[in-house]
Structure 1
Amino acid sequence: MGINEQIHQLLADQGEAFTQFKDTFSQRLERLELRVDTPGNPAASKGGIPRTDHVKAFERFLRDPRGAQARAELEEVQAKAASLGTLASGGYAAPEELAREVAKRMRDLSPIRRLARVVTVSSADFRMLVNINDAASGWVGEDATSGNRSATENAQLGEVRPTFGTVYAYPKATEELVADAAFDIATWFIESSAEELAIAENAAFVSGNGTNKPTGFLTGSPSSASDTDSPARSFGTLQYVPTGVAGAFPFDQQGSPPGNPGDVLYDTIYALRAPYRQNAVWLMNSATAGTVRKWKDADGRYLWTDRLDMGQPPLLCGYPVVTDESMPDIGSNTFPMAFGDWRRGYLIADSFGLRVTLDDNITTPGQVKLYVRKRVGGKILDDNAIKLIKCAAS
């Protein structure tokens, strides 16, 4: 056999060997994927959640929350991390991986959480200083000394201290369901906890009274005084724009005085100063949105514009609209619409992570009920950044 034939034979043998290796590897890979995807496999990563020791121990606890062994294993894992120890009142810290997924779902479900400024704090004794009088500034030449600089007004600082409370949820399921190895216990925990927590906390961000809960931006006594009026509004008080009609918006353009709901919208937009308008968003509930989207200008053009690109919010007078069912309806002396830069206007403070306890106070036999809670605070951050519309004559 010549050298060329030897080379061809060698290449052929090499190709055949590679094919055999590839087939063997593919079969092994398929078997591994089948094992990983098998429901109830404890080694699987469900929903993209890393299968850490804490996650595994926590899932075993969820499946058998009354079991001494499951509790002991979870306590052992949490004891290794000082920050995850049990509270004096009992309970376990949810794994960071699951708590993070709950937070993501809550952000999707809570409009204010998506829009506002969110910080994580270590205690409820958190406060933030904000400038409330726009301290003056000036110019000076390159060689000017400090003595040549004219005095500027010192900044007047206000203290924002969010009010905190514990928001909680009670996820429930049958004992048979949570014990079923094919049941995705982690996803159930994430979805059932996030939905109830998000609904409760978002309502507090809007209208919470500040007693063992966040202080909502509608709480207090909003004023018709503008940002530049003297005397100024008290710190933390929002400005409202009246509709000019008791309990409604103006519609009769031929009336005396004539009225158009669009005028109220534009009055609200320009009551907000230019730096805040850049990132401003409308907030209203579905009932109000159903009314507002029918409004037209004097030429018959709709003020509401639906976006063609998927996932983008509609526009009202050129600004995005976010629907929040916690907002009040149109009615006598209500504030059905708000407009502002929410990241500058409202502060959410998250305290320690998610805590879970088995609740034995259940009247339905055969069910498992969990007590899931977290600490959260909230308060107006910059009262110039949000404007309200009030259904009132003045």
Structure 2
Amino acid sequence: MNKTYNKPMMMPAASAFSHKEAGSDPVKEVAEKIAAKFTEFTEKNDKRLAAVESEKGALAGKVESLGEQLLELESLKATIEALEKKSNRPGATSTTPEQAEHKDAFNKFLRKGQDQGLGALQAKALNITDDPDGGYAVPEELDRNILSLLRNTTPMRQLANVISMGGAEYKKLVSLGGANSGWVGEQAARPATNTPTLAQITPFMGEIYANPQATQTMLDDVFFNAESWLSSEVATDFAEKENLAFTSGDGTLKPKGLLAYATAATSDATRAFGTFEHINTGTVGAITGDDIVKFFTNFKAGYLMGSRWQFSRTTLAALMVLKDGDGNYLWRPGLSESAPSVLAGFGYTINDDMPSIAAGANAIAFGDHKRAYTIIDRMGTRVLRDPFTNKPFVGFYTTKRVGGMAVDTQAVKFLKIRAS
């Protein structure tokens, strides 16, 4: 299933924002359109809420259309900002002669299948053992490129803590508390306190692969950037599968996703380690403004500093019309450069692998996702070149090992849609 994350329905050409016209500011122009559209949206929605039954149908359609336009404009603003950041990005870090030689040899391998000496060159460039039997490691610069593309297109990678490791295993110790303390006088005895309980957790690892195909004619074309093509093709495939795994994967030959862990409607003080808390909405099958406002009372203050919402685009459409007890809209658009839109004062990330609003669904996650979930990347992406299986195409069987695990199940909580 192909998904596009944070992709606007009306995408501008990159060249349109590569050079600002004199006196123009694309971000400011879009922000002004967002402000105007938000005003119109709130006016129509307020009228819809106050309208008699005969008028509600027509106004509901207008509100839905305006909501869709707001989402498009917001996504367009994010796209322009990303393009401007890319155009202002400083040049790549310098490479060593060994890395440059390895990159040149790897490019010959991609185009012509020439791998003479490539194993030894990658061993020198990457400081690893020469072992070409399992494919060749892509140059460090290309590997960073793939990971950068993955982060930009995978919502869970934007939210979670990401660690790269060189070995085959990763283990983490987590303190479950239990070390008592107490008050004493200056010369009073100080008895021993309890020893804190520690738990060891390990990630659920899996190997993800992609097998993009190119014709030899494409590879022979001097204007065809084989490395860039491979990066984008692999990143697209990996991003779709990885995000689904990090969100809801069952842990079998893949990472265990955030939603795959057990949840309970019990507080942090009594809930078992490894179980997230869910808070039921007050209304069956729906979310109200009160549900959002009251949600924060379940969090310890220390977790709120780095907290964000996470939900699907369809859920956002329902949240945009919610109000607090004073009649203020809980969703507010970002109206200036680099100013994000917020829900109840906190930023959010759109993840279309999150469930939509439905009875019994954990439709919204909120909290400090970096403390709650960790992604483990095994360093190195490997490529096997296959010019035989699917002639006249040349396949590039590309693999990498990746894992994921929940670390702190108090850091994120779910808003669960009441079923009954």
What is the TM-score when the length of structure 1 is the normalising length?
0.76
Written as runs of structure 1 = structure 2, the 5 A alignment for 1:110-129 is 110-129=154-173
Could you say which structure has the larger radius of gyration? 1
Q: Distance in 1 between matches of 2:132 and 2:163?
A: 23
1:381 aligns with 2:419: no
Map residues 198-237 of structure 1 onto 2, 5 A cutoff: 198-228=239-269, 232-237=270-275
Q: Name the SS for the 1:192 alignment partner.
A: helix
| 1:86 counterpart residue number | 131
Structure 2 counterparts to residues 181-196 of structure 1, below 5 A: 181-196=222-237
1:388 partner amino acid: F
User: How far apart are residue 370 of structure 1 and its match?
Assistant: 1.1
Task: Give 1:200 deviation, angstroms.
Answer: 1.3
Q: Is 1:238 aligned to 2:265, yes or no? A: no
Choose 167-176 or 200-209, whichever is displaced more: 167-176
Report the equivalent of 2:102. 54
Structure 2 residue identity aligned to 1:357: L
What displacement does 1:87 show?
5.5
Q: CA deviation at 1:158?
A: 1.8
Query: Does 1:171 pair with 2:228?
Result: no
Query: Structure 2: which 5+ runs fail to align?
Result: 1-90
1:252-297, CA deviations, whole angstroms, 9 ceiling, x for partnerless residues?
Answer: xxxxxxxxx1221233222121100111010011111122122122
More helix by share: 2
Cα distance in 2 for partners of 1:306, 1:129 equals: 40
Q: Which range moves more in the overlay, 128-137 or 174-183?
A: 128-137
Matched, 1:249 2:286: yes
Partner secondary structure for residue 332 of structure 1: coil
CA distance in 2, matches of 1:86, 1:150: 57
Provide the rounded CA distance (Å) in 2 between the counterparts of 1:101 and 1:137. 49
Which runs of structure 2 are paired with 1:241-280 in the superposition (5 Å)? 241-246=279-284, 248-250=285-287, 261-280=288-307
Secondary structure of the residue that 1:336 maps to in structure 2? strand
Shift of 1:163: 0.9
| Identity percentage of aligned residues | 36
Contiguous gaps of at least 5 residues in structure 1: 1-46, 251-260
Identify which range, 265-274 or 283-292, moves more after superposition: 265-274
Contact 2:309/2:346 (<8 A) preserved: yes
SS of residue paired to 2:408:
coil
Contact 1:119 1:349 in 2 (8 A): yes
Change (3 A) 1:233 1:181: same
Change (3 A) 1:360 1:389: farther
Q: Report how far residue 137 of structure 1 moved.
A: 4.1
Match of 1:255 in 2: none
Shift of the 162–227 alpha-carbon distance from structure 1 to 2, 3 Å rule, reads same
Q: What's the CA shift for 1:173?
A: 2.3
Displacement after TM superposition at 1:134 (Å): 6.1
Q: Distance in 1 between matches of 2:178 and 2:306?
A: 20
- Asked if residue 358 in structure 1 is aligned to residue 385 in structure 2, the reply is yes
Which residue number corresponds to residue 314 of structure 2? 287
1:160 matches 2:198: no
Pairwise CA RMSD of aligned residues? 2.3
Q: Structure 2 length as normaliser, TM-score?
A: 0.72
Residues of 1 paired with 2:168 and 2:119: CA distance?
A: 26
Preserved contact between residue 158 and residue 235 of structure 1 (Cα < 8 Å): no
Change (3 A) 1:313 1:152: farther
The question of whether the paired residues in 2 share the 8 Å contact of 1:84 and 1:92 is answered with no
Report if aligned partners of 2:385, 2:397 keep a CA contact under 8 Å in 1.
Answer: yes
Residue 143 (structure 2) aligns with: 99
2:363 corresponds to: 336
Letter in 2 for 1:83: I
